[in-house]
Structures are given as structure tokens and as C-alpha cells.
Amino acid sequence: MSKQEVILCENLEESLGHALEKCPHDKLFILTDEHTDRLCLPALKEVPQLKNAIEIRIGAEDIHKTLDTLASVWMALSEKGATRHSLLINLGGGMVTDLGGFAAATFKRGLAYINIPTTLLAMVDASVGGKTGINFNGLKNEIGAFAPANSVLIETEFLRSLDAHNFISGYAEMLKHGLISDKAHWVELLAFDTENIDYAYLKELVGRSVQVKEDIVEQDPFEHGIRKALNLGHTAGHAFESLALAQNRPVLHGYAVAWGVVCELYLSHIKVGFPKDKMRQTIQFIKENYGTFTFDCKQYEQLYAFMQHDKKNTSDTINFTLLREIGDICINQTADKDTIFEMLDFYRECMGC
């Protein structure tokens, strides 16, 4: 997989102008959702190359990360005469960059695309690294492809219109990057004032966070080994997300990841000795900022069944990424059903549900 260009922009319109020059194309398409169309697209109005761009707008949020939406994007590309030499710009959060990236990867076997992430989660995580896809059969990202964007242009000014829930959702992936990288980054993330945001400092943190992801993706773009570090919290987290969806009470991805981190730090503690004090400090931050996802022991079998679909698994064994210490990553860790149920007991006890 080719290394993608990731730019923390000082001037988005200028950076986009340069990125477009580096990507010769016939037609230009721009994918937005119903919110980024209104809140973010106007920021690009001065870019001359965008004057004739064809907009494709889809519904917002994960309930639209579906085959139907994907088909509607393929249809728009087809009807508006996209060729393999056309270029797609994805302007939005992770839902738009995941689905738009997959549409680009599959339409006529693949056209080039540029990501302009507009949520915190998409800036530090979803827009980078080439994982694209849609949800399917109640399972997260069940269908997809590894297909990196040509360029990723990060403009943190977009974050000023993001609501508090989506802000803190994205922050969970930053916390994950802190846990898998180094103690200093983890400490500064726990200390950040998430209620009175200092946007200049946030931009620095975004830069550090996305660098953690880039470094790992560069070593292992197709997740054969160390990239599994980026999946910390996701074996349990995706199961929570799928359960919530099945029960018609969807939760934001980052919240599910945060709750998944609670579970997987517990497993890290009992299986590979992650220090109790750091586990407690991280869980306290999560309790304060994410509240609790409630379930009871009657849902354990269903959660376990969702974990059996995790993409890191081989045959019938459920695969976790655990930590021996902050930044000391143990991939390919397994746990039997009894231990996974014990992990869920721990979650319910310490989160008070």
C-alpha cells in the first residue's frame, strides 16, 4: 500500500489546491453528508478547481453506513459519468470517509480519492490508514477494503461546530493512541480540559495523535501484526456497538471504544500485568466522560457471539490486543468464554450497571 500524504493544514484551500494538482482527473466529485454539506462545504468555496465539482450528499451517521447508501453513491457516480480517472473528495466524519473510500475503491475497480475529515474521530483515526467499508448484517465494517486516500487534509477549524458528544467520541480514539504509544501522551490526554476546549492546544494533540496512527500503519498497512494495536478496545467495543444497534439504541463509535477499553484494560491487567493504578485512572476518565453502557448477564451470550465476528480472530478463537504497560503492546492475545464473561462482570461492577 502506498504511503499516503497526511497534512495538518494551515490553509485548507491552499493545501487542497496543491493536492488536486497532484491528482490529475477528468471529473471531480465531492461526497458530503446532510450536515457537512451545510457546515463544512462552504469553507471550500474559494477553491477554483471545485467550481464544477459534482456533489453527492448522503444521510448522516452510522445508520447510513450501509449497502443501500453505498449503492446510491455508486449510482450517482455512474449516472454523472465518473470514469476511472475521476477523483472523489470525501468531506465528513468517519462515516463519510469509510463509505466514500469504499465507493472509490470499488467503482470501476478503483478511482483516486482525497479525505477531508471534519470530525475529531475522522481527523485522528478514520481518514488515515486506508481501512474503508460499510456495516453489514448488524456487524461493524463487515464489508470493506484496504484502500488509502491519495491525500488526507486535516483542518481542525472544522471542530468548532462539532457537538460535545461527537467531540468526546473522537477523543476516545485519541485516548487509545495515548495508551498504545507513551506515558507522556497518555498523561496529557487525561489532563486535557474536554469541557473548555483550547483549540490551539487541541491542534497540537491532533497532530501527535494522528502521528501515532501513521507510524503504525506505515509498518503494517494490512494488519498482519502491529496494526492490531490500533484495535485496542475494539473486540469488546464493536460488540457493544452491534448490541446497541440491534436493540435500537445506537451509540457513537468512540463511546463503544471507550467502554471496550475498560474491558480490555481489565484483561490486560489479569493476563499480562497492566498496572492496576493506570487501569483505574483510565477507567475513571472514561466513567466521567462517557457514562455507562448498560446491559445485564442475559446479554453475555449475544455479546460473545458478536465478538466471534471480530476481524482479528482466527478459527474459533477470539483475539484481543492487550497492554503490558502504556506503549507495551501485546497482540494476538486470546481469552476463553469464562474469562470473557468475567471481563463483562468486571465492566458492570466497576461502571455501576
Ligand X SMILES: NC(=O)c1ccc[n+]([C@@H]2O[C@H](COP(=O)([O-])OP(=O)(O)OC[C@H]3O[C@@H](n4cnc5c(N)ncnc54)[C@H](O)[C@@H]3O)[C@@H](O)[C@H]2O)c1
Binding interface with ligand X (CB under 6 A): 33, 35-36, 39-40, 60-62, 65, 92-96, 98, 118-119, 121-122, 125-126, 129, 131, 140-141, 158, 161-162, 166, 169-170, 173, 253
* End-to-end C-alpha distance for the chain, whole angstroms: 44
CB of 129 or CB of 269, closer to ligand X? 129
Answer for which of 57, 64, 185, 234 binds ligand LNCXM5UN (CB under 6 A) is 234
* Residue type for position 76: A
Query: Helix, strand or coil for residue 147?
Result: coil
**Three-class secondary structure of residue 314 per DSSP:** strand
Which of ligand X, ligand LNCXM5UN, none sits in contact with 202, Cβ below 5 to 8 A by type?
none
Q: List the single partner that 161 binds among ligand LNCXM5UN, ligand X, none, CB under 5 to 8 Å by kind.
A: ligand X
Question: Of residues 165-184, which lie at the interface with ligand LNCXM5UN (CB under 6 A)?
Answer: 173
- Least distance CB 303 / ligand X (angstroms): 18
What does the alpha-carbon distance between residue 175 and residue 191 come to, in Å, rounded to a whole number? Answer: 11
Work out what residue 234 binds among ligand LNCXM5UN, ligand X, none; the CB cut-off runs from 5 to 8 Å by kind: ligand LNCXM5UN
189 burial level (CB within 10 Å; 0-12, 13-18, 19+): buried
User: Nearest residue to ligand LNCXM5UN, using CB?
Assistant: 141
Q: Which of ligand X, ligand LNCXM5UN, none is residue 105 near (CB under 5 to 8 Å by kind)?
A: none
Cell 493504578 -> residue: 277
How many other C-beta atoms are found inside a 10 Å radius of the C-beta of residue 352? 9
Report how far apart, in Å, the C-alpha atoms of 349 and of each of 39, 108, 239, 342 are: 41, 51, 18, 10
Residues 185, 227, 269, 271: which binds ligand LNCXM5UN (CB under 6 A)? 227
**Integer Cα distance of 287 and 290 in angstroms:** 6
